[in-house]
Chain A
Amino acid sequence: MRRSARLAALSMLAVLLGCTMPAPVPLPALGFGLATTDRSGPAEPDRRRSGFEFMGEQTQAMQRDDSANPAMLGVQDGEMLWNTAPGPQAKACVACHAAAQSSMKGVAARYPAWDGQLARPVNLGTRINLCRQRHQQLPPLTADHQQLLNLEAYVGLQSRGLPVMPDPDPRLLPFRERGAQRFVQRLGQLDLSCAQCHDQLAGLKLAGSVIPQAHPTGYPIYRLEWQALGSLQRRLRGCMTGVRAEPFAAGSVEFVELELHLATRAMGMALETPAVRP
Chain B
Amino acid sequence: MARTLLNIPKTAQRGEVIEIRTLIAHKMDSGFLPDAQGQRIPRDIIQRFACRYNGEQVFSAELFAAVSANPYLVFYLVATESGMLEFEWQGDNGFTQTERVPITVT
Contacts and interface: CB of A to CB of B under 8 A. Distances in A.
A103 B3 CA distance: 25
A148 interface: no
Interface string A1-34: 0000000000000000000000000000000000
Interface string A71-85: 011001100000000
Contacts of B7: 65, 67-68
B101 interface: no
A73 B3 contact: yes
Interface residues of B, number: 15
Contacts of A67: 5-7, 21, 23
A247 to B, nearest CB: 15
Given A67-B5, A68-B21, A73 B70 contact: yes
Contacts of A72: 5, 23
A182 to B, nearest CB: 27
A66 B70 CA distance: 14
A95 interface: no
Interface of B: 3-7, 21, 23-25, 27-28, 68-70, 72
Given A67-B21, A227-B27, A227-B69, 14 more contacts: A65-B7, A66-B5, A68-B7, A68-B72, A70-B69, A70-B72, A72-B23, A73-B3, A73-B4, A73-B23, A76-B3, A224-B68, A227-B28, A227-B68
